[in-house]
Every structure is written in C-alpha cells, then in structure tokens.
C-alpha cells in the first residue's frame, strides 16, 4: 500500500531542520494551507456565480457575494489572525499593511506578505489562478512591529510558497531547504506530498511573456525574443511560446518543464508590472531554491532594495541558462546606464514616480 504524506505531517517532520524551532513557522504554514483549502473551494464554485448570484448581490443564504480576490484576502487574513503566529499581514489587496492585534498574537514573530489571488482576471474564463505568499521574521524586538519589519529584502525571507488552483490544486513551498509540492486530494481534503524536492531544468525550450507588448519592450528583450524564434537544431530552437497570463501557472509550468518567464519594464510600465514584495520575491526564492535564476534583467531579484510595499519590478525568472542568455542580451542591447538615463528623464518629466 502506498503511504501518503500530508502537508501537516511533512511540516512537522521538517521542523527538525531548524534546531531551535518552536513550531511557530510550522503553525503559520499550516494556517496558510488551511486558508488555501477554503479559497480553493470557492474558486471551484466560480462558474456557479451566475446561478448563485454575482459579486455584490445576495446569495441564497442571504449573505452578500464577494469578489473572489476580496474573499481570498479576508480568508487568509482571518486564518493568520486566529493562528496567532503572525503580527502583520501585507497584502496586495490592501494599500496599507494590517496589524494582527489581540491576545493570541501578542508574541507573534512573523510577517506575512501575500497576493491572495493572483491573476484573478482569469477566473471569469476558468483559467488557473494562484496565491503567492512570503514569510519574514520581524526585525524589531519591542512594541508593535513596524513598516521596517515589512520592508525587508527578498534574501531575508524565511519561507515562501504558492498555491495553484488549476486542473488540480497544488501548494508548493520552500523554507530555504529545497522546494516541495503537495497536491490537494479532494476526497480527504488534504494536501499530499506529490512533488518532493522539485528542481527546475537548467535549460528549457519554453518562453513565456506577453508578446502583445512587443513594441514597448526594451531592445534586449526584443533581441532575446528573436533568438527564441530562430531555427537552430542544436539548441532545439525555435522555442515554444506559452503565456497563460497567470504568473503562478506560467512559472509552475516552467518549473516542471524548463522555461523562462519574463515581465520586463515596458515603455508603458517603466518599472515593470509585477510587485516585488508580493510576486517577484517569493517566486524568486522558490525558483532559486529549485536551482533556477531570477533577476530584473541585470540584478538578482532577492537583493533588490525594498523601499515601498507596492513597489514594482521587472522579472526574468526560470531555467538558469535561459535567464542568463536573456540577461546577456539585456546587457548588450539595453545597457543599464541607458535604462537609468531614460528613467531619470521620465522621472524629471513626472511620467514615472521613483521606484513605485
């Protein structure tokens, strides 16, 4: 008989990797796992909205229906509140971070940054969406945690993960000792270890970016794209283009098959579109832990200085060799000095606002 290992069992087993751990991080991960099962249940019912009632209307029990991203935000915050291990939740859904007050959280040491439902515009068309989370230890030692505790660089993450609500639901996470993936078995309501020690192939043949933005791309990205499309038997080119438009799903696929995901700066989004704290840092931590690479085209994502909660960044992430090749082209055709000069011109014209 095959023995299944649940997420809960696995987390407890792995607690011994941290000799002085008291189980707080384990409980925090468990809380996130529980909330994601609740969100999963609602995401699976998304197509029924038309018969059960749209967002903003009352459902059959007289409760008002919420947009799923709002619902997911509330579920994660509420699970983290009752779990008692987290003192601040910073969410892509909220302008400001949320303090978790109360008796149960008074000694809480952890900060959670979360994008509760990434790619939520895909829900209407039944395409995979995801949750992305990132965990930091608070830096300050007294009183209430502060913004300083939240604005930590990606290298300070103690854990990060994502949940993909796809043809099956998976939770993938790292605590800095490799990456493990768990598939939700709906018959028992548990995430079960299905992808132990995940590794992203060093080389891949899938490139993933929104080609509709081509005219707005930096020259380095345009050159890389052309490189991907040229015929060359030795390197299996032309590569395959795949873009779901749901970061978690695009990166998850590339992690398994090998590939690169790029969301560069564009002339219409000069700082990039994706958020450093909620999207880029956690995904970069996971991909690096799986043996891949994540940069903004020039520098490592995890080392970027975090100066504001909703700061944006370009991202080049995935199979190491593919990312390195794209970076080479960025250096050659879109040198950082030129980029910075263009940025400061736009800034002085008030077209872009610093780092955010």
Site residues for Mg ion per CB under 5 A: 115, 118
For residue 296, report the phi and psi dihedrals to the nearest 5 degrees: -100, 20
- CB-CB contact of 303 with 154 (8 Å): yes
The vertex-342 CA angle with 218 and 330, nearest 5°, equals: 30
Identify which of residues 73 and 174 has a Cβ nearer to ligand AHM in the complex: 73
Applying CB under 6 A, does 120 fall inside the site for ligand AHM? yes
What is residue 183's DSSP assignment? E
Among 83, 84, 116, 119, binds ligand AHM (CB under 6 A): 119
- Asked if residue 247 binds ligand AHM (CB under 6 A), the reply is yes
Q: Which does 40 bind (CB under 5 to 8 A by kind): Mg ion, ligand AHM, none?
A: none
Q: What are phi and psi of 132, to 5 degrees?
A: -125, 130
Q: How far is the CB of 122 from Mg ion (least distance, A)?
A: 11
Asked if 306 and 113 count as a contact pair (C-beta separation under 8 A), the reply is no
* Nearer to ligand AHM (CB atom), residue 60 or residue 125: 125
Q: Whole-angstrom Cα distance, residue 215 to residue 346?
A: 18
The answer to the question of residue 94 lying near ligand AHM (CB under 6 A) is no
Q: Which stretch binds ligand AHM (CB under 6 A): 162-170, 245-253, 286-294, 299-307?
A: 245-253
| CB of 130 vs ligand AHM, minimal distance in Å | 7
> Rounded to whole angstroms, how far apart are CA atoms 41 and 279?
23
CA 131, CA 250: separation in Å to the nearest integer? 13
CB nearer to ligand AHM: give 34 or 251.
Answer: 251
Q: What distance lies between CA 27 and its chain's CA centroid? A: 21
Q: Which is nearer to ligand AHM, 26 or 122 (CB)?
A: 122
- The least CB distance from residue 57 to Mg ion, in Å, is 25
Least Å from the CB of residue 92 to ligand AHM: 6
- Whether 111 and 86 have beta carbons less than 8 Å apart is answered as yes
Q: 138, 252, 273, 293: which one contacts ligand AHM (CB under 6 A)?
A: 273
Nearest to 113 by CA among 286, 303, 302, 275: 275
Tokens of 325: 């090749």
**Least spacing, CB of residue 279 vs ligand AHM, in Å:** 7
Neighbours of 177 (CB within 10 A): 12
Distance in angstroms (rounded) separating the CA atoms of residues 10 and 279: 25
Q: Which of 283, 294, 287 is nearest to 323 (CA)?
A: 294
Instruction: Rank residues 25 and 170 by Cβ distance to ligand AHM and give the closer one.
Output: 170
Please report whether residue 131 would count as binding ligand AHM according to CB under 6 A.
Answer: no
Judged by CB under 6 A, the stretch of 58-66, 113-121, 162-170, 312-320 that binds ligand AHM is 113-121
Of 65, 210, 235, 241, the one binding ligand AHM by CB under 6 A: 210
Q: How far is the CB of 108 from Mg ion (least distance, A)?
A: 25
Task: List residues binding ligand AHM (CB under 6 A).
Answer: 115, 118-120, 210, 245-247, 263, 273
């Amino acid at each position: 008989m095959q023995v299944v290992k649940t997420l809960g069992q696995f987390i407890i087993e792995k607690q011994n990797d941290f000799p002085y751990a008291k189980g707080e991080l384990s409980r925090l991960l468990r809380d996130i796992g529980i909330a994601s099962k609740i969100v999963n249940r609602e995401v699976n019912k998304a197509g029924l909205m038309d018969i059960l009632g749209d967002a903003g209307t009352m459902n059959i029990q007289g409760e008002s229906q919420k947009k799923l991203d709002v619902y997911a935000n509330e579920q994660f915050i509420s699970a983290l509140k009752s779990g008692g291990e987290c003192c601040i939740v910073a969410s892509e859904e909220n302008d400001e971070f949320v303090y978790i007050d109360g008796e149960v959280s008074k000694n809480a040491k952890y900060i959670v940054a979360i994008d509760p439902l990434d790619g939520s515009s895909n829900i209407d068309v039944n395409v995979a969406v995801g949750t992305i989370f990132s965990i930091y230890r608070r830096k300050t030692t007294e009183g209430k945690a502060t913004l300083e505790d939240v604005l930590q660089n990606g290298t300070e993450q103690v854990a990060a993960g994502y949940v993909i609500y796809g043809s099956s639901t998976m939770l993938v996470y790292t605590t800095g000792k490799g990456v493990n993936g768990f598939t939700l078995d709906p018959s028992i309501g548990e995430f079960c270890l299905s992808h132990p020690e995940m590794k992203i192939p060093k080389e891949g043949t899938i490139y993933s970016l929104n080609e509709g933005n081509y005219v707005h791309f930096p020259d380095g990205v345009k050159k890389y794209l052309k490189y991907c499309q040229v015929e060359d038997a030795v390197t299996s080119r032309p590569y395959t283009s795949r873009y779901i438009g749901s970061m978690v799903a695009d990166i998850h696929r590339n992690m398994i098959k090998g590939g690169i995901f790029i969301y560069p700066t564009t002339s219409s989004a000069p700082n990039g579109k994706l958020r450093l704290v909620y999207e880029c840092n956690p995904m970069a931590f996971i991909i690096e832990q799986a043996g891949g690479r994540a940069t903004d085209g020039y520098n490592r994502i995890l080392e970027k200085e975090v100066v504001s909660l909703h700061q944006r960044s370009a991202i080049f992430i995935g199979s190491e060799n593919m990312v390195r090749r794209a970076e080479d082209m960025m250096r050659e055709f879109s040198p950082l000095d030129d980029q910075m000069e263009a940025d400061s011109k736009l800034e002085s014209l008030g077209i872009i606002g610093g780092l955010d």
